[in-house]
A and B are shown apart, each in its own frame.
Chain A
Amino acid sequence: DAGVIQSPRHEVTEMGQEVTLRCKPISGHDYLFWYRQTMMRGLELLIYFNNNVPIDDSGMPEDRFSAKMPNASFSTLKIQPSEPRDSAVYFCASSFPDPLNQAQYFGPGTRLTVL
């Protein structure tokens, strides 16, 4: 398996622009997670999906952030409008539903810089 795939790997944009991050989970994984990593706040869970349905979005920082999962093999995280404080590395992760095999497998991340 190719693992979790994220694109783009790097994104540089200007304040006010819309940013869309993409994720393809591992085939057969029913759970998908979006995280943000910064030096100040560490790793934060933003939102997670089960069978394409958002389960917990309490970590989404503001209404400027939105996430969708239109099918089992694709998810997007959108920031509109973007701000410099959104600069971070955004990770997508996926996992099996099996409660005894609950490791999350992470993608390589998207490094976002908002100027």
Chain B
Amino acid sequence: AQSVAQPEDQVNVAEGNPLTVKCTYSVSGNPYLFWYVQYPNRGLQFLLKYITGDNLVKGSYGFEAEFNKSQTSFHLKKPSALVSDSALYFCAVRRSNDYKLSFGAGTTVTVRA
């Protein structure tokens, strides 16, 4: 079985401050990890993925994520948050030999001006 935990339902930060959204996963074998963002009344947008290689992955809109195998984590980060980053963020995992994605419950990010 595979699963994702996003321990924080909500994250609030001031504009210009660093943003971190936490994610831990459980999967057998090597994980394929993803972050998606969802704006109100919209579909999910792909932000970044970790498949193999460098543990620090850079994605869209200035976001990055760090894969930590020993801690089974894949936290999403942005050095300087924008008000427009306010949205719902999902972490997802799948096994390398299976196309079935499992999503976390999501974290609502609010960036205040």
Contact = CB atoms under 8 A, between A and B. Distances in A.
Interface stretch (B10-18, B64-72, B74-82, B93-101): B93-101
B99 A95 contact: yes
Most buried by B among A42, A43, A108: A43
A48 B43 contact: no
Size bracket, chain B contacts:
20 to 34
Most buried by B among A50, A56, A103, A108: A103
Given A4-B43, A42-B105, A103 B34 contact: yes
Interface in B1-56: 32, 34, 36, 42-46, 49, 51-52
B89 interface: no
Interface of A: 4, 31, 33, 42-43, 45, 48, 50, 55-56, 91, 93, 95, 99-100, 102-109
Interface of B: 32, 34, 36, 42-46, 49, 51-52, 90, 94, 96, 99-106
